[in-house]
Structure 1
Amino acid sequence: MLGDPRSHGLWETTAPAAPATAALAGDCRTDVVIVGGGYTGLSAALHLAESGADVILLEAAEIGFGGAGRNVGLVNAGMWVQPDVLVGTMGPERGEALLDLLGDAPRAVFDLIEKHAIDCEAVRSGTLHCAVGSSGLRELREREAQWRRRGAAVELLNAAQTAEKTGTTAFAASLLDRRAGTIQPLAYARGLARAAIAAGATLHTGSRADRLERSGADWRLATAQGSVTAARVIVATDAYSAAPWSNLRRQQVKLPFFNFATPPLAEDLQRKILPERQGAWDTRTVLTSLRLDRAGRLIVGSVGALRGSGVAVHRAWAKRALRRLFPEIGAVRFEAEWFGTIGMTDDNLPRFHRLDDNVITICGYNGRGIAPGTVFGRWLADLALGRVRDGDCPLPCTVPRDARFRLLREGAIEFGAQLAHLAP
């Protein structure tokens, strides 16, 4: 997008075309204005429009330009943190409510895909969290126990079962989460946009919201070529936030994540490597993610940015990683490479903020944007419609606070990822 092949890589070249949109021109009024064309904003627009509200969405670049169009495409349940840790942070009532909501969130995603016939390579065969060594095995045993106490459809697979599911003997075990699955993430975002337009929402791309100001009892959002006046504002910009909501960006530490995609594998290799099309990632801090797309391309990802010296370092690492895991592949080459930004909060949990009267946001998905973004977009729509109140949200309503030592931590992550990937 915007002439950069490393912004969306494979997803941009294989997704169905985005619906036709144009930049906002002139002044208009609506019931609710949404800022941001990712999963949260598009889900909110769709649910608002289906409820009969007049809604306008403003996207600074293109639909799915931020994290929605760059991620791995794993539709996961829950968050990165273990369930008991989440409950310990949030408290029993809110914590268990959040786990219930996010545990069922993949179902909400796949239901929307089916309802609106979204062509996004949806596969509901689960995901595999793969254990590296004894410490990884202990982590997955505990994660399985915590989820199973809550009735989740998860199962710890032994080394032999994991090798059968992944095609490699590198892992000591894996946690199969049958609630989860994979999608083509940009295609899903574009499909949500198409469904929202069909329901009556108006979407404007190339329309950066530069100013927010009072207009009587309402709000006026100004872009370079026009403005929208509305009673309610939903901010859905998350880790790609800028003024006038740069405080949302400052409360998150940017974690870059890249992906490389091979050409389609031979059919015999596709029958051996991730044959059931689960998405997978391991328990390392600087993790490795693996999945296949519909055409059989093998996609490998990890922490790091494809810029400067990072391009060569991470590309060489990705080739070594695939040769180590799947030596039968032979010589490795890539046909696409891209990276984006994950916004990490201090406790690795999302945030709900009321930024001003009738200006609301949920952000900070910590690498789990697809399913949480979808269900929280729906929840924000209900809040804007008056169907729920702040206290009904499983997240407490808080004030954005800058992350401590944010720039130092971001630099350390990017540099540290390169050091980790230089190791043989």
Structure 2
Amino acid sequence: MSDHDKSLWLKTCREHVKSLPLSGDMTVDLAVIGGGYTGCSAALTAAQSGASVCLLEAQEIGHGGSGRNVGLVNAGLWLPPDDIRRYLGNEAGDRLISLLAAAPGDVFDLIERHDINCAPVRNGTLHCAHSAKGLRDLQARHAQLSATGAPVELLSAHQTAQRTGSAAFQGALFDPRAGTIQPLSYVRGLARAAAEAGAHIATQNPVQSMQHSDGVWTLKTSKGTVRAKSVLQATNAYHQRLEASAPEYVPIYYFQFSTAPLSDNLRASILLGGEGCWDTGLIMTSFRMDAEGRLIIGAMGDLGQAGRAAHTAWIRRKLAELFPQLADQPLIEGWHGRIAMTSDHLPKITQIGPNALSVHGYSGRGIGPGTVFGRLMAESLLQDDPSLLPVPSVADYHESWTGLRRVYFETGAALTHFVKARLWSR
């Protein structure tokens, strides 16, 4: 079941990119597969450097997770710095930490430079403690982030209530580097900027086969063929057709609902600073305002499966629990997206052939990392310099029991939401 057409972001998107037809043969320096943050960032980088580039997207720009997410432009990954170093080592870990600490700045600089109409608000984010255990986790994260020089601030329960308008939290970690955007408008703005720089953007063009011979890649679609010196595959959790290079990950689903624009009185009581928020719950909840004053609230779960009723009932009661003044506010039709989760929550760059790289596994942190990874991967391929990559590439990557783990996470989210909704109703 697809609910992409019900997404608030699709209905309010103010950026458009013209797709060019692909007919016959085309030869380019770089072929990009996938029109999300990574692919569009790579195409923009390549085109601006003077390279010829063709981006092939199976649907429309931002059709996947890039056009369905919460729109939080965060610094860093889910992992705290110590865990990143433990997995990557100190040198590679410190480099990735530094790159992603600067990622929000990169995103907002691109928005300004290319006049992307995506409602950017750089007022920070709040990671909210839903319990005493959650607060302890935030205290540890605060210590680790502060040690890297990050300007984060640990807020008390009272300060958090003042910032959010909700008394449901025991504290929060405030990161002033971060912010919010209209996520679909941002990715389409990147694609539009790439096209203006000379990139060939071809949507509704799924790649049917990909072969390498005599130093050249040949990508065939139903509408034409692209030959390229280098290939960047950036399909993440929405990969299609190319089984030989399919990324392995655990699919996690995340859904969102939105209110109608709130009245001025209600708007004045919630998130006055314009921060984007999420909590420390194992089954995470997020909430934020958009440019028109709608409250957008989301959580883990797949609206296209049997758990839809439980997720929908739970989110209505969660909204009332966080903001009692919104208890009678109707929620418009919800939408969901798919996240590519890796076991260690680190993105993976895979060498899928000569001069060909694939990336996946942002684990719910796509905007900043996707923008940075796309830029650096394009530079690495065009300059034939692996040292430019944000993380070292691997020859192969495998995940175990992905199907069972997907069922485990979705069942857990559905049961959690079902039980809590029943308890609230008593």
TM-score interval (norm. to shorter): over 0.9
2:397 is aligned to 401
1:419 has 2:411 as partner: no
Preserved CA contact (<8 Å) 1:322 1:332: no
Deviation of 1:20 (Å): 1.9
Distance 2:154 2:319 in 1: 24
Query: SS in structure 1 opposite 2:331?
Result: coil
Query: SS in structure 1 opposite 2:260?
Result: strand
Show CA shifts across 1:149-189 (max 9, x none). 11101000001110011001100000000110000000001
Instruction: Using structure 1 for the length normalisation, give the TM-score.
Output: 0.96
Distance 1:308 1:221 in 2: 34
1:382 is aligned to 379
Distance 1:205 1:271 in 2: 41
Preserved CA contact (<8 Å) 1:247 1:401: no
Distance 2:367 2:21 in 1: 26
Q: Which moved more, 1:265-274 or 1:49-58?
A: 265-274
2:343 is aligned to 346
Preserved CA contact (<8 Å) 1:361 1:380: no
1:279 is aligned to 276
Show CA shifts across 1:228-262 (max 9, x none). 0111111111111233256543x210000000001
Deviation of 1:17 (Å): 4.6
1:71 is aligned to 69
Preserved CA contact (<8 Å) 1:217 1:231: yes
Query: SS in structure 2 opposite 1:189?
Result: helix
Task: State the AA in 2 paired with 1:409.
Answer: R
Task: State the AA in 1 paired with 2:203.
Answer: T
Deviation of 1:277 (Å): 1.2
Preserved CA contact (<8 Å) 2:245 2:352: no
1:335 is aligned to 332
Count of residues in correspondence between the two structures: 420
2:53 is aligned to 55
Coordinate RMSD, CA, aligned: 1.4
Distance 2:18 2:375 in 1: 23
Show CA shifts across 1:47-97 (max 9, x none). 111111111100000000111000000000111011111111111000011
Equivalent in 173, 178, 181 of residue 179 of structure 2: 181
Structure 1: gaps (5+ residues): none
Query: SS in structure 2 opposite 1:264?
Result: coil
1:233 is aligned to 231
Deviation of 1:27 (Å): 1.3
1:103 is aligned to 101
1:253 has 2:253 as partner: no
Moved over 6 A (4+): none
1:326 is aligned to 323
Preserved CA contact (<8 Å) 2:380 2:388: no
Deviation of 1:381 (Å): 1.5
2:309 is aligned to 312
1:223 has 2:221 as partner: yes
Distance 1:132 1:374 in 2: 30
Preserved CA contact (<8 Å) 2:341 2:362: yes
Q: Which moved more, 1:237-246 or 1:83-92?
A: 237-246
Equivalent in 188, 196, 199 of residue 198 of structure 1: 196
2:136 is aligned to 138
1:211 is aligned to 209
Preserved CA contact (<8 Å) 2:379 2:388: no
Query: SS in structure 2 opposite 1:382?
Result: helix
Task: State the AA in 2 paired with 1:321.
Answer: K
Task: State the AA in 2 paired with 1:397.
Answer: S
Deviation of 1:396 (Å): 2.1
Equivalent in 219, 243, 257 of residue 241 of structure 2: 243
Distance 2:327 2:38 in 1: 41
Distance 1:253 1:246 in 2: 18
Distance 2:408 2:155 in 1: 35
Distance 1:7 1:314 in 2: 19
Deviation of 1:408 (Å): 0.5
Summarize the Cα distance change of 1:69–1:241 in structure 2 as closer, same or farther, 3 Å threshold: same
Query: SS in structure 1 opposite 2:339?
Result: strand
Deviation of 1:401 (Å): 2.7
1:27 is aligned to 25
Equivalent in 147, 156, 166 of residue 168 of structure 1: 166
Instruction: Using structure 2 for the length normalisation, give the TM-score.
Output: 0.96
Task: State the AA in 1 paired with 2:399.
Answer: A
Preserved CA contact (<8 Å) 2:104 2:368: yes
Deviation of 1:207 (Å): 0.3
Deviation of 1:215 (Å): 4.0
Show CA shifts across 1:277-309 (max 9, x none). 111000010011000100011111000000233
Distance 1:321 1:149 in 2: 35
1:292 has 2:282 as partner: no
